[in-house]
Structure 1
Amino acid sequence: MWALIWGAVAASSLVIGAVLGVVRKWNDRVIGAVLGFGAGALMSSVSFELVADGLSVAGGLPVALGLAAGALAFYLGDKGVERLGGRSGKTAAGMPLLLGALLDGIPEQAVLGIGLAAGKGVSVALLVAIFVSNLPEAIGSSADMRSAGTKARTIILGWSIVAVVCTLAAVAGYGVSALVGDPFAGAVDGFAAGALLVMLVSSMIPEATQKAGKAAALVAVLGFAVAAGLSAAG
């Protein structure tokens, strides 16, 4: 139940972003700055939440294998989305955009469930990082879809479906982690970390820099610092 609740809280920003993207036009620099902050926060969560926890419960080898598997899985999935037009850098409406968001969101959300299954409660730092990083993606994609002529109701419905699937990913992460031993749990942490790192380097950070310029780097450090502080406080 808690995995479902916290997963829904994190995924709700996808729907909020979709609504914001439909109702008004947003400056690219603002979107880029929010992306940069979210990227920094996610980097902190990968370092202090995923990799650190995985090493503590399973050791280096399972985490390393998980990192490699997660990175490869996201890379191949991302290539598939790119072929559909979802990562082309051009205005694209419809399913490719939603697939891209789904690909980004599943490993993020699964990590929330993994932490809950380990008895550590919800990671506030990771929750904030996911919530913030979802907003600009949903805002930008929804604005593009609206400009391409997609109805507002269809856009919001599509993003709501993505949010539901991402919420269920948190529940799945909880279930998998609760059923397996520590070595596999460490590998799952590594898998999520590898997927997130490839996503950050291949799409989130470049997009933040493209939209906000060099200021994105400063905002990313701020996001890293905030998330690191939240991790330490938790």
Structure 2
Amino acid sequence: MLIGAAVGLRYNLPRPLIAALMAFGAGTMVAAVSTELFQPAFEAEGIWTAGIALLAGALVYVGADRLIELKLGAGALGWALMLGSLLDGVPENTALGVTISGAGGVVLLVAVAVGNVPEAVAGAASMRSQPNFSGGRAMAVWTSTAALLVVVVVAANLVSDEISDGAIATIQAFAGGATIAVLADSLMPEAYREGGWWVGLSTALGFLVAFGLGA
């Protein structure tokens, strides 16, 4: 996340390249949602519990994203992507902390890492374009977000033996819902707008890489 934010603030990357990165990250996140977040929750808790948690995660992101849009208007993309990194990142990194020692944790780790880079690049670049918003302030925002998510992973790993399987499943499903909302509302539309029709290939490649790691 910090690497992506630093790149987005320092360099004017070609928009098609940013679009390709965003699409690739979206593909990895699709794989993570389907195989490492929702499926385990569905198998552990069933469709009702997992489904409600999934919808709750999506609802929280959509509601918060809408508030940001109403306040910032056209300048909302950077904040929306940062919000997405935080809202899906907290439950995702909680799930990561309790599964990091297994094969599924590796897939989730790769998906989270790869997904965070384009989100941070695009989000930081969008923040930089806003008037009266310094690069230092934008970097501080992303650094704080990244630090919080690191703390979440470490804390979840330390108490992983004390978290019930049902709670872990609910957290995973919630993270899946927030991730789906981020993809649908922010990441994939922006990737298509900047890159055009061919970004579907980058999305498919990202999915294939993440899925292959879990095979």
1:160-187 Cα offsets, whole Å, 9 max, x none, are 1111122223345546764343233222
Report the AA paired with residue 201 of structure 1. A
- Give the equivalent residue in structure 2 for 1:222: 205
Aligned partner of 1:139 among 115, 121, 140: 121
Q: State the SS of the aligned residue for 2:13.
A: coil
Contact 1:129 1:227 in 2 (8 A): yes
Residue 32 (str. 1) matches residue 15 (str. 2): no
1:1-234 equivalences under 5 Å are 14-85=1-72, 88=73, 90-91=74-75, 98-99=82-83, 101-116=85-100, 120=102, 123-147=105-129, 148-171=131-154, 173-174=156-157, 178-232=161-215
1:99-120 Cα offsets, whole Å, 9 max, x none, are 454334333323312424xx63
Contact 1:66 1:190 in 2 (8 A): yes
Q: What is the rounded CA distance, in whole Å, between the counterparts of 1:213 and 1:93 in structure 2?
A: 18
Q: What is the rounded CA distance, in whole Å, between the counterparts of 2:203 and 2:102 in structure 1?
A: 26
Relative distance call for 1:200 and 1:135 in structure 2 (3 A) is same
Segments of structure 2 that go 5 or more residues without pairing to the other structure are none
Segments of structure 1 that go 5 or more residues without pairing to the other structure are 1-13
Report the AA paired with residue 141 of structure 1. G
Relative distance call for 1:49 and 1:104 in structure 2 (3 A) is closer
Report the AA paired with residue 102 of structure 2. K
Contact 1:64 1:187 in 2 (8 A): no
- For the aligned residue pairs, the C-alpha RMSD in angstroms reads 2.6
Relative distance call for 1:78 and 1:173 in structure 2 (3 A) is farther
- Shift of the alpha carbon at 1:123? 2.0
1:86-140 Cα offsets, whole Å, 9 max, x none, are xx4x346997774454334333323312424xx6367222222222222222223
Relative distance call for 1:176 and 1:79 in structure 2 (3 A) is farther
Relative distance call for 1:121 and 1:221 in structure 2 (3 A) is closer
Which deviates more from structure 2 when the two are superposed, residues 196-205 or residues 140-149?
140-149
Q: What is the rounded CA distance, in whole Å, between the counterparts of 1:141 and 1:198 in structure 2?
A: 16
Q: What is the rounded CA distance, in whole Å, between the counterparts of 2:170 and 2:211 in structure 1?
A: 22
Contact 2:97 2:154 in 1 (8 A): yes
TM-score normalised per structure 1: 0.79
Count of residues in Structure 1 that have an aligned counterpart in Structure 2: 214
Q: What is the rounded CA distance, in whole Å, between the counterparts of 1:195 and 1:94 in structure 2?
A: 17
- Shift of the alpha carbon at 1:68? 2.2
TM-score normalised per structure 2: 0.85
